Structure 1
Amino acid sequence: MIRPIVHNPQHLQTKAVPATRADAGVVTDLLDTLRAHQANCVGMAANMIGQNQRIIVVLMGVLPVAMINPQITQKRAPFQTQEGCLSLTGQRPTTRYKTITVDYLNAQFQPQHQEFSGFIAQIIQHEVDHCQGILI
């Protein structure tokens, strides 16, 4: 189900709790909401739709990918950039890393360990920050 986007900074700055199999519906809602906004959004965290679970979705090309309980385990090659957010107005400066390694569970709750680089890595970092209650 497509959910409304949360704009309240207080809610967005609350650290997310680990997701469980009971949160599978949140994954579905997050994927549906990302698809509905994909013209101007490439990633979302569950707190952006009012859910406080550690779940993100990232548009990888045309395919939206769910990452449950993502943990960035390595970061390489920092750079400065400007980012926007569907929940916030305008763009803000931030530091990101060109290459990251992430441990997460996929939508079937199977463990994954992957390296990402470029724009996909940047999106993941932005959404993981949301899970930590960090706003750009």
Structure 2
Amino acid sequence: MIRDICKDLLFLRRKSELATPDDLPIAADLLETLMAHADGCVGMAANMIGVSKRIIAFDDEGTYRVLFNPEIVKKSGSYEAEEGCLSLSGTRKTKRWKNIKVKYQDEQFRERFKTWTGLSAQIIQHEIDHCEGIII
């Protein structure tokens, strides 16, 4: 189900709770909502659809991915980026990392580790910020 985009700053500033297997329907809604906004959006966190859970969905170089409870465990190569967000108006400058290693759970809630670089790494960092209640 395509959900409305949350723009409530008080809600978006809350740290999200850990996701569980019961949250799989939320992930499906998140992915469907992201795909509906594909013309202007490359990633979303669950709080952007009004659900305070640690779930992100993003376009990983043409493949949509969903990560549960993502956490950056290693990072290198800082740079300054400028980003926009469906939940906020305009763009903002922020510090990002070129390379990140992420610990997360897949759809079966198995623990995984993966290293991302470039735009995918930047998108993941933006969405993890959402999970942490950080608004750039």
Band the TM-score falls in, shorter-chain normalisation: over 0.9
Determine the C-alpha separation between the residues in 1 that align with 2:20 and 2:107. Answer: 11
The percent identity for this pair of structures is 46
Structure 1 residue 133: deviation in Å?
0.1
**Alignment-derived partner of residue 127 in structure 1:** 127
Q: TM-score, normalised by structure 1?
A: 0.98
**Alignment-derived partner of residue 113 in structure 1:** 113
Give 3-state SS (helix, strand or coil) of 2:127's partner: helix
Matched-pair contact (CA < 8 Å) for 2:68–2:106: yes
Structure 1 residue 62: deviation in Å?
2.4
1:7-56 Cα distance to aligned partner (Å, 9 max, x none): 11111101000000011111100010001001100000000000010000
Matched-pair contact (CA < 8 Å) for 2:73–2:103: yes
Structure 1 residue 111: deviation in Å?
1.7
* Greater Cα shift, 58-67 or 71-80: 58-67
Structure 1 residue 106: deviation in Å?
1.3
Give the gaps of 5 or more residues in structure 1: none
Counterpart residue identity of residue 73, structure 2:
T
Counterpart residue identity of residue 59, structure 1:
D
**Alignment-derived partner of residue 24 in structure 1:** 24
Q: Which runs of 4+ in 1 moved over 2 A?
A: none
**Correspondence 1:39 to 2:39:** yes
Give the gaps of 5 or more residues in structure 2: none
Structure 1 residue 116: deviation in Å?
0.4
Determine the C-alpha separation between the residues in 2 that align with 1:77 and 1:62. Answer: 24
Counterpart residue identity of residue 65, structure 2:
V
Determine the C-alpha separation between the residues in 2 that align with 1:93 and 1:61. Answer: 23
**Alignment-derived partner of residue 94 in structure 2:** 94
Q: TM-score, normalised by structure 2?
A: 0.98
* Greater Cα shift, 41-50 or 108-117: 108-117
Determine the C-alpha separation between the residues in 2 that align with 1:115 and 1:61. Answer: 14
Question: What is the alpha-carbon root mean square deviation over aligned residues?
Answer: 0.7
Determine the C-alpha separation between the residues in 2 that align with 1:81 and 1:53. Answer: 26
Counterpart residue identity of residue 74, structure 2:
Q
Determine the C-alpha separation between the residues in 2 that align with 1:87 and 1:28. Answer: 19
